[in-house]
Structure 1
Amino acid sequence: MGEIIAVYDAVGNEIGSAERSVVYAEGLWHASAGVLVRSLDGHRVYVHRRTDTKAVFAGMHDCLAGGVVGPGEEPAQAAARELAEELGIVAPDPGPRAVARTSWDGVWAGRPMRCHLFAYEVRWDGPISHQPEEIAEGWWWTDGRLRAQLADPSWPFVPDTRLLADRLLLPGPPTDPVR
Structure 2
Amino acid sequence: MTAHETVDYVDADDRPVTRGPRGGAAARGLYYRVAATVCTDSAGRLLVYRRPDWAAVYPAHHDILIGGCPRAGESYAEAAARELHEELGVVAVPRLLLHQPRPSPLGRCWLAVHVAEVPTPSRVDPREIADHFFVPTADLADRPPTPFVPEGRRVLAQLLARGLPLPPP
Q: The TM-score by the shorter chain falls in which range? A: 0.7 to 0.9
AA aligned to 1:5 is V
- 1:125 and 2:119 are equivalent in the alignment: yes
Decide whether aligned partners of structure 1 residues 49 and 28 sit closer, same or farther in structure 2, where only a CA change above 3 A counts: farther
Give the corresponding residue for 1:18: 20
Answer whether contact 1:7 1:31 (CA < 8 A) is retained. yes
State the Cα distance separating 1:125 from its structure 2 match. 2.9
In structure 2, what is the equivalent of residue 3 of structure 1?
5
1:6-85 correspondence to structure 2 within 5 Å: 6-23=8-25, 28-42=30-44, 44-85=45-86
Q: Distance in 1 between matches of 2:81 and 2:23?
A: 23
**How big is the shift at 1:122?**
1.0
Letter in 2 for 1:23: A
- Provide the rounded CA distance (Å) in 1 between the counterparts of 2:50 and 2:84: 15
Between the two proteins, the alignment pairs up a number of residues equal to 160
Is 2:105 the partner of 1:143?
Answer: no
Asked whether the 8 Å contact 1:16–1:71 carries over to 2, the reply is no
Match of 1:114 among 102, 108, 119: 108
Report the TM-score, using the length of structure 2 for normalisation.
0.82
Calculate the aligned-residue CA RMSD, in Å: 2.4
Question: Is contact 2:5–2:71 with CA below 8 Å preserved after alignment?
Answer: no
In 1: Cα distance, 2:152 partner to 2:26 partner: 17
Query: What SS does structure 2 have at the residue aligned with 1:79?
Result: helix
Q: Which amino acid aligns with 2:103?
A: D
Unmatched runs of 5 consecutive residues or more in structure 2: 163-169
| Aligned-residue identity in percent | 34
Q: Distance in 1 between matches of 2:124 and 2:38?
A: 15
Counterpart in 2 of 1:157?
Answer: 148
Work out whether residues 50 and 131 of structure 2, in 8 Å CA contact, stay in contact via their aligned partners in 1: yes
Q: TM-score, normalised on structure 1? A: 0.78
Residue identity opposite 2:140 in structure 1? L
CA-to-partner distance for each residue in 1:95-136, whole Å, 9 max, x for gaps?
A: 111112222125x3xxx6211111111112344321011101
SS at structure 1 position matched to 2:156: helix
Q: What secondary structure sits across from 1:118 in the alignment?
A: strand
Shift of 1:27: 6.5
The answer to whether the 8 Å contact 1:144/1:170 transfers is no
Distance in structure 2 (CA, Å) of the matches to 1:89 and 1:82: 9
In 2 relative to 1, CA 164–54 (structure 1 residues): closer, same or farther, beyond 3 Å? same
Alignment partner, residue 101 of structure 1: 99
More strand by share: 1
Q: What CA distance in whole angstroms lies between the structure 1 residues aligned with 2:14 and 2:110? A: 7
In the alignment, is the contact (CA less than 8 A) between 2:48 and 2:62 conserved in 1? yes
Q: Is the 8 A contact 1:143 1:170 kept in 2?
A: no
Distance in 2 of aligned mates of 1:18 and 1:77: 19
